[in-house]
């Protein structure tokens, strides 16, 4: 049995399987965190009549608020 684990082919296959598993776990973590971030952050501004409604990040509380700005402000 000792000779079986010393085989170069077996070591290569075990390494490839472990590497594939590590890549799958890291990709699952990356895609999950991006989906969570995308779901919680507003994507941009909207035009409402003669105003632009845009999200702003309040750094003191960490909340997202909205600001309405006129399109042709003086």
Whether 27 and 51 share a structural domain: no
Residues 49 and 73 in one domain: yes
* Torsional sign, CA 13, 14, 15, 20: positive
Domain span at residue 49 reads 43-74
Q: For the chain, count helices (H), then strands (E).
A: 2, 3
Q: What does the pLDDT read at residue 4? A: 59
Q: Is the pTM of this model over 0.85?
A: no
Predicted pLDDT of residue 47: 86
Same-domain status, 29 and 52: no
Residues 4 and 21 in one domain: yes
Q: How many domains are there within the chain?
A: 2
Q: Based on the domain organization, do 30 and 2 belong to the same domain?
A: yes
The tokens describing 73, both together, are 């402000």
Query: Is 16 in the same domain as 34?
Result: yes
Per-residue pLDDT of the chain (74 residues; tens, 9 = 90+): 456 556 777 778 888 888 887 887 777 766 665 555 555 666 777 888 889 888 888 888 888 888 888 888 76
Instruction: Write down the pLDDT at residue 6.
Output: 63
Task: Specify whether 16 is located in the same domain as 50.
Answer: no
pLDDT at 41: 64
Tell me, what DSSP letter sits at residue 41? Answer: S
Distance separating the N- and C-terminal Cα atoms of the chain: 84
């Amino acid at each position: 049995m000792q000779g079986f684990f010393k085989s170069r082919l077996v070591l290569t296959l075990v390494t490839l399987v472990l590497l594939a598993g590590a890549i799958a776990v890291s990709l699952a973590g990356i895609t999950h965190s991006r989906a969570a971030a995308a779901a919680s952050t507003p994507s941009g501004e909207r035009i409402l009549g003669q105003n632009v409604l845009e999200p702003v990040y309040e750094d003191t509380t960490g909340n997202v608020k909205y600001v309405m700005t006129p399109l042709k402000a003086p």
